[in-house]
Amino acid sequence: MVSTHNRLKQTKEKLVSPLKIHRKLASKKNDDLEMGDSDERLLTLEATDSGLTSTVGELVEQLRLINLVLGSVSATRQGRSQRRRRLKKKWVMEVDGDDDVSVFDDSNFDMAATAAATFSVASMATCGGERVKSKPFGMKFNSPSYLKGFSGLKATTSVSCESDTSFAGKESTAALRATFAPRAQKQTQGVENHFQPEASTFKVAVLGAAGGIGQPLALLIKMSPLVSALHLYDIANVKGVAADLSHCNTPSQVLDFTGQAELANSLKGVDVVVIPAGVPRKPGMTRDDLFNINASIVKNLMEAVADNCPDAFIHIISNPVNSTVPIAAEVLKQKGVYDPKKLFGVSTLDVVRANTFVAQKKNLKLIDVDVPVVGGHAGITILPLLSKTRPSINFTDEEIEELTIRIQNAGTEVVEAKAGAGSATLSMAYAAARFVESSLRALDGDTDVYECSYVQSELTDLPFFASRIKLGKNGVEAVISTDLQGLTEYELKALEALKPELKGSIEKGVAFAQKKASPAAV
C-alpha cells in the first residue's frame, strides 16, 4: 500500500488544473479556487487530474480523520510547537498565483480533518465575557505567518479553530469570540496570511450621542464587528464626537446629524435605535424629577422613529424608564406602528450591578455570576432575585437585605460620589452597549441570546415589567416566566411592594403621551 505521505506527494506533483472546494464529494468542477456560500460549515477539497480522481479526505482517512476542510486551519502565533506535539498529523494547503494547490505537511498552517469546525477570533483586551457571533468570513493566505487584528479589537490576538472532535489552539483566554463560515479566496501576490471579515450589515442610531452617556456608548458600539454604520444624532456638538470616533480603526462608518432638521435622515434604514437623550440626574434628584423634561424629549424622538424606521429595535435609556417606555409605546400606537416585541427599556445596568456586587460579596468570578433583576428601573421597583442567582449561592438574611438595597440605590451612590459632576454615565453606557450587542447578535441569527429588559409583559398584572427575555430576529421571542416561580418570602413581599409604584409610573407615562397626542393622531 502506498503511504499516505507518498500519495499526498503524488497528488501534489500531478495537480495540473485549478481546483474548486465543494460541500459535497460529488462535485468535480474545474474553476478558480473559491469557497461557496457563507453558511457552509463542512467543506471537502477535491483534486482532479488527467488520470486520477481522488479526495484528500480519502487520503487522510487512514489517520482516522473524516474530511480535509479549510475550517481546521490554525494560525496562532504563540504556542506553535506545543500545539503541534498534540496533533497527530499536520497538513497545509498553499495557493499560488498559478492556481496550483499544494497539499503537504509541516508548514506555517496546521490543518486537521474534522466534520464540523468554527473559526474563533479572540482578544484578551475587549469586553468582559464571551460573546458568540455568526459572520461571513473571507480568508486569503500565502506563505509566512502574519495575522491582522480583527476590527482593531486586539491586545494579544489569535485565530483558532475548534471541532466536534479535538483540536488544539486555545492559547489565549477568549474575551470576544466570533464564529465564521469560511470562504477561500485566491491570493496572487503578497506574502502575508491575513483574515479580513466581510462588511457587517447592521446600522445603529444613537439619539443623544453628544451627551454623558451617548459618547462612551457610541465608542463601545463602534467597537462591535456587527455594526456597519453608526449614526450619531444630537441637537448640538455631535460633529466633534463623530470626527473623534471616525479615527477609531474599526469597520463601521460614522455619520453625524445635528438638530431637528436632520433627525429623520439619521433614522432612515437603521436596524437599532438607542435613545440616551435627556438631562442627567443631579444630587437630590430622583428619576421622577426628570420626567417633565425627558418625557417631552422621548416623545419627540419617538415620533421621528415611528415615521422613519418603525421596524427597528428601539432601546430606551432616557429616565425615568418606567415612564418613558410607556410613552414610547403610546406614540407608536398613535402612529399605527407599535410592535411590543421591538420596544425595550434598557434595565441591563441593574443586572450588571447585581452581578458585580454579588461577585464581590461572595468572592466569585464575575463571568460565572448571573442575577436576574425584575420589576422596573428605579428605586424599590428594582428587584434582584438573589434566590435565582447562578451559580446557586446561599445568602444570609442580612446579605439579602444589604445587596438588595445597594442594587436599588446604586445610581444614587454614583451621583453622590460625583458630587454634582454627573451621574452613572460610564456604567450605563457599558450596560447599554451590552444590550445593543445582544440585539445585534439576535438580528444576526444567534438563537441563544438572553437579557433582562423592561418590556410589555403578561408576567404580572402590570402592562410593563422587567424580566429575563429571549431575543430573536424579530425582537422578544419569549418572556422567561420561570424566574417568578419559587420565589422566597422576602422576594414575594418585595414584588408586591414594588407594584403600586411601578403602576403609577406607567400610568403617568401613558397619560402624558395621550394628553400630548395631536388631534390627528388620536
Query: Which grid coordinates belong to 91?
Result: 497538513
Element (H, E) at 454: strand 449-456
What pLDDT is stored for residue 457 in this prediction? 97
pLDDT of residue 201: 84
Distances (CA, A) of 395 to 330, 401, 457: 41, 10, 29
Please report, as a single letter, which amino acid is at residue 257: F
* Alpha-carbon gap, residue 140 to 183, rounded angstroms: 9
Which fold is adopted by the domain 202-346? Answer: Rossmann fold (3.40.50)
pLDDT of residue 6: 55
Residue 314 · residue 305 · CB < 8 Å: yes
Quote the CA–CA distance of 371 and 351 in Å, as a whole number. Answer: 6
- Alpha-carbon distance of 229 to 217, in angstroms, equals 14
The set of cell numbers assigned to 200 is 457587517
Q: What is the pLDDT of residue 288?
A: 67
My answer on whether omega of the bond before 197 falls inside 30° of 0, hence cis, is no
pLDDT of residue 94: 37
The rounded distance, in Å, linking the Cα atoms of 128 and 491 is 29
Residues in the chain: 522
Is the Cα dihedral 165, 171, 172, 173 positive or negative? positive
What backbone phi and psi angles, to 5 degrees, belong to 418?
Answer: -80, -10
Q: Is 500 exposed, middle or buried (0-12, 13-18, 19+ CB in 10 A)?
A: exposed
Q: Which residues contact 48 (CB under 8 A, 6 or more apart)?
A: 17, 19, 28, 30
At residue 280, the pLDDT reads 76
Torsion (CA) 212, 214, 217, 222 in degrees, nearest 10? -130
Rounded CA separation 261/319 (Å): 25
Q: Assess whether the previous peptide bond of 391 is cis (omega < 30° from 0).
A: yes
pTM, entire model: 0.65
Domains 202-346 and 348-505 share a fold: no
Whose cell is 435609556? That residue is: 317
The pLDDT assigned to 89 comes to 36
In CATH, what number does 348-505 get? 3.90.110.10
* Half-sphere exposure of residue 158: CA atoms within 13 angstroms, side-chain side: 20
Spatial distance between the Cα atoms of 114 and 123, rounded to a whole number of angstroms: 25
Strand-pair partners of 138: 183, 196
Q: How far apart are CA 501 and CA 375, in angstroms?
A: 10
Q: What is the CA radius of gyration of the chain?
A: 27
DSSP string, 290-330: GHHHHHHHHHHHHHHHHHH-TTSEEEE-SSPHHHHHHHHHH
Q: Where in the sequence numbering do the catalytic residues fall?
A: 377
Domain ranges of the chain: 4-197, 202-346, 348-505
pLDDT of 421: 87
Alpha-carbon span 267 to 314, nearest angstrom:
11
Q: Which residues contact 261 (CB under 8 A, 6 or more apart)?
A: none
Collect contacts of 287-291 with beta carbons under 8 A, ≥24 apart: 287/319, 287/320, 287/321, 287/322, 287/377, 287/378, 287/379, 287/411, 288/320, 288/323, 288/378, 288/505, 290/319, 290/320, 291/320, 291/323, 291/508, 291/512
- Say if CB 509 and CB 295 are below 8 A apart: yes
List the chain pLDDT tens, one digit each, 522 residues.
Answer: 555 455 544 544 444 333 333 333 333 333 343 433 333 333 333 333 333 333 444 433 433 333 333 333 333 333 333 333 333 333 333 333 333 333 333 333 333 322 233 333 333 333 334 444 444 434 433 333 333 333 333 333 333 443 333 333 333 333 333 333 333 333 444 444 444 445 458 999 999 999 999 999 999 999 999 999 999 999 999 999 999 999 999 999 999 999 999 999 999 999 999 999 998 767 676 666 779 889 999 999 999 999 999 999 999 999 999 999 999 999 999 999 999 999 999 999 999 999 999 999 999 999 999 999 999 999 999 999 999 999 999 999 999 999 999 999 999 999 899 988 888 999 999 999 999 999 999 999 999 999 999 999 999 999 999 999 999 999 999 999 999 999 999 999 999 999 999 999 999 999 999 986 654 333
Nearest to 246 by CA among 233, 259, 263, 231: 231
